[in-house]
């Protein structure tokens, strides 16, 4: 039987020592575009890493397209990729070609096959001239694009976006959004900005490590209204760090 498509989050919790960061999240996402909204400090980045299988939950499990992403890492890297907010936390090689090659080799491609994959990926993004470029020479927006290319070269079914537009100017955001629209993967986009998630079919609001509300566009409306209400208050004690 074919695994049911989508993301099944089955009762996951995550703690660092005595600190509980994620608590009892149990939800299913089936839409091709899923949004997770929340304030800074709500546990969004931790949840992103749990969904990508980069860290293992203290309790529960995450299944993406039927793959337990924390326990079956070989299958997970072909199923889900992640883009971090800061590309400096993702890029580990000195050249563009090496950065893209790494993931393809992790999938078991030969050196020749990986080279072909690198060239095909760069051509797909109209960046063939980047083949021998150093990553150090890239602008911040170009580094974001390189991270996207390196992940998409592995052709994952799902792409998790951990606030990838934060700190980018409007033209760069628009250009990266166009590439995401054409990437062919299902998207799970985590953000504190409702504008990033406009048009997403499934949306959930993460608050203090728990799901406060889940549904469709009405979640974004409720979140924004609550943020405006909190922002209008005079008490600064509850501002997120």
Query: Residues 156-172: pLDDT tens digits?
Result: 999 999 988 777 788 88
**18, containing H or E segment:** none
Domain limits of the chain?
87-155
Judge contact between 152 and 121, C-beta under 8 A. yes
Tokens of 194: 């409702």
Instruction: Tell me the per-residue pLDDT of 84-129, one tens digit each, with 9 for 90 and over.
Output: 888 888 999 999 999 999 999 999 999 999 999 999 999 998 999 9
Mean pLDDT rounded to a whole number for the chain: 90
Q: What is the rounded distance in angstroms from the CA atom of residue 75 to the CA atom of residue 186?
A: 17
Cα angle at 105 between 46 and 115, to 5 degrees? 125
Judge contact between 69 and 119, C-beta under 8 A. no
Tokens of 82: 């992640």
Q: What is the rounded distance in angstroms from the CA atom of residue 119 to the CA atom of residue 49?
A: 29
Q: Coil, strand, or helix at residue 235?
A: coil
- What burial letters (b/e) apply to 211-232, b meaning 16+ CB within 10 Å? bbbeeeeebbebbeeeeeeeee
Instruction: Judge residue 182's burial from the number of C-beta atoms within 10 Å of its C-beta, 0-12 exposed, 13-18 middle, 19 or more buried.
Output: exposed
pLDDT tens for the chain, 241 residues: list them. Answer: 445 679 999 999 999 989 999 999 999 999 999 999 999 999 999 999 999 999 999 999 999 999 999 999 889 988 999 998 888 889 999 999 999 999 999 999 999 999 999 999 999 989 999 999 999 999 988 998 999 999 999 999 999 999 887 777 888 888 888 888 888 889 999 999 998 898 888 999 999 999 999 999 999 999 999 999 988 876 655 555 4
Percent of the chain topping pLDDT 70: 95
Instruction: Judge residue 105's burial from the number of C-beta atoms within 10 Å of its C-beta, 0-12 exposed, 13-18 middle, 19 or more buried.
Output: middle
Global pTM reads 0.87
Gap between the terminal Cα atoms of the chain: 46
């Amino acid at each position: 039987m074919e695994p049911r498509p989508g993301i099944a989050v089955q009762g996951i919790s995550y703690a660092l020592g005595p600190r509980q960061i994620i608590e009892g999240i149990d939800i299913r996402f089936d839409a091709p575009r899923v949004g997770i909204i929340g304030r800074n400090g709500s546990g969004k980045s931790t949840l992103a890493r749990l969904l990508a299988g980069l860290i293992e939950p203290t309790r529960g499990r995450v299944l993406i397209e039927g793959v337990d992403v924390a326990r079956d890492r070989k299958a997970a890297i072909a199923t889900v990729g992640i883009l971090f907010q800061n590309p400096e936390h993702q890029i580990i090689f000195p050249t563009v070609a090496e950065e893209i090659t790494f993931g393809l080799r992790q999938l078991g491609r030969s050196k020749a096959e990986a080279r072909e994959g690198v060239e095909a990926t760069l051509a797909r993004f109209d960046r063939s001239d980047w083949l021998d470029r150093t990553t150090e020479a890239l602008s911040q927006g170009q580094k974001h694009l390189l991270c996207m290319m390196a992940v998409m070269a592995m052709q994952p079914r799902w792409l998790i976006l951990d606030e990838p537009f934060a700190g980018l100017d409007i033209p760069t955001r628009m250009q990266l959004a166009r590439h995401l629209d054409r990437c062919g993967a299902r998207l799970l986009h985590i953000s504190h900005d409702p504008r990033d998630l406009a048009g997403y079919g499934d949306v959930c609001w993460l608050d203090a490590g728990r799901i406060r509300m889940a549904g469709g566009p009405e979640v974004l409306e409720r979140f924004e209204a609550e943020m405006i209400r909190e922002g209008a208050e005079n008490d600064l004690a509850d501002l997120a760090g």
